Amino acid sequence: MSGMLLYLRLTAMGLVALLVLAAAGWSSWDTARHIMFTDDRERGTIAVSGCGEETCTGLYDPEGPAAPRAGLRIDESVTVDKGDRIDVVVKPESDEVVRRGVGGVFYAWLPLGGALLLASFLIAGMGLTKVAMGSAIAGAAVIAGTFFTV
């Protein structure tokens, strides 16, 4: 009986770890796909003119002959100060832009980095210490990369 309970506990921990990682991966991919595959995306720069609680707005200047336009939004956490010019990619069919470049990639994968760090504790509880260390190191690397590049 105790063997079966141990097996159920390990199975439950593994399923929770997989669920956390899958949800974070899905969340990260929603933003990362716009940054990593920019061939058919509209690119340019945004000059931050004002910030609210969660987003900043500004004048968007696209690359190429298109005219600049105002009112596009970017997450407040990837901007530094009012007046900053940030390289961005426009999300299709929206008025939202995401930071591009190395900082944008790290920022997009930040939810997965946090999930890797969180899941490492669950994985360690399953007795897979080397896998847990790899997960923790990968998660910490994404978090540190985001901190230093954004």
Which of 99, 116, 140 is the C-terminal boundary of a domain? 99
- Residues 28 and 55 placed together within one structural domain of the fold: no
In the block, tokens 């900082």 appear at 103
The parent domain of residue 80 ranges over 43-99
Domain count, the chain: 2
How many Cβ atoms from other residues are within 10 Å of residue 17's Cβ? 24
In a domain, 64, yes or no: yes
* pLDDT tens by residue, 39-79: 788 899 998 888 888 888 889 999 888 888 888 888 887 77
Model-level pTM? 0.86
In a domain, 7, yes or no: no
CA 29 to chain CA centroid, nearest Å:
8
In a domain, 11, yes or no: no
Which pLDDT score is estimated for 1? 77
**Contact criterion met (CB below 8 Å) for 44 and 63:** yes
Structure tokens at 19: 């669920």
Which of 57, 80, 99 is the C-terminal boundary of a domain? 99
In a domain, 5, yes or no: no
